[in-house]
Structure 1
Amino acid sequence: MDIEATKNYCRSLAGVSEKVCAAPANVHVFYVGDKQFAWFKTSQPEQGRLSIRTAAERFLELTDQEGIKPARYMQRFHWISISDLTSKESGFIRMLIDESYQKAFSNLTKKTQKNIKSVNS
């Protein structure tokens, strides 16, 4: 799965918005409601690196895999980074994005969750 296909998949999820942050952050962030669930690095080094949140119990399992490492500054919140998306199967990437999205979605207020569900019904 390439970077654009991954971004398009993020955009296809319910209630998603996005924001491109310039220097010094240099990231393209995807939100559900007001919660981040994925971001891409937009500058060198590691341009195109995907960072997503994972469950605490999966963090060590995932970071033991080649090409996946703890996300810089965000590892304490169980965020991981994948530097080369093409090295992983697209189904695996989608599954990780879905998990991150669901984790962010579950942290929204019930009212916001209901509004997102009703818009996409």
Structure 2
Amino acid sequence: MEVPTRLAELADTCLTASQAVADAWSDALTEIQVPSGAAGNTVAGGSVLSAHVEAADAAATGVGRLVAVLEADVDAVYLCAFDFSTTDETVARGLEEKKPAPTPERTPSPEPGPAPTPPPTPARVA
């Protein structure tokens, strides 16, 4: 049963990666915050701060989508490992009984679809 074990390890790696990405972004949020007076009293100061907030919001959306995709991959890989394990057990039982192995029921694979869009994490202007 090496394949299901390796698939479970892969799923665990994907989960660890998704958590690492989410944690890194969360840690970075404090570093990219810009105080409201950072642009001084320049004419374009408000525009600069607004553009910074928009860029941070777009980055938060991208990171959130990446985390969601990695988490969906975790579920899909675990389902695949379960399918391998179930099929292996069904065939083994059939061989032990010296009967033709029954056709295992097909577990529906997850259908790919649009990645879930998490709500954006707004950048804060201090």
| TM-score when normalising by structure 1 | 0.27
> Which structure shows the bigger proportion of residues in strand conformation?
1
> Which structure shows the bigger proportion of residues in helix conformation?
2
Q: Which has the greater radius of gyration?
A: 2
| TM-score when normalising by structure 2 | 0.26
The higher relative CO (CA closer than 8 Å, separation ≥ 6) is in: 2
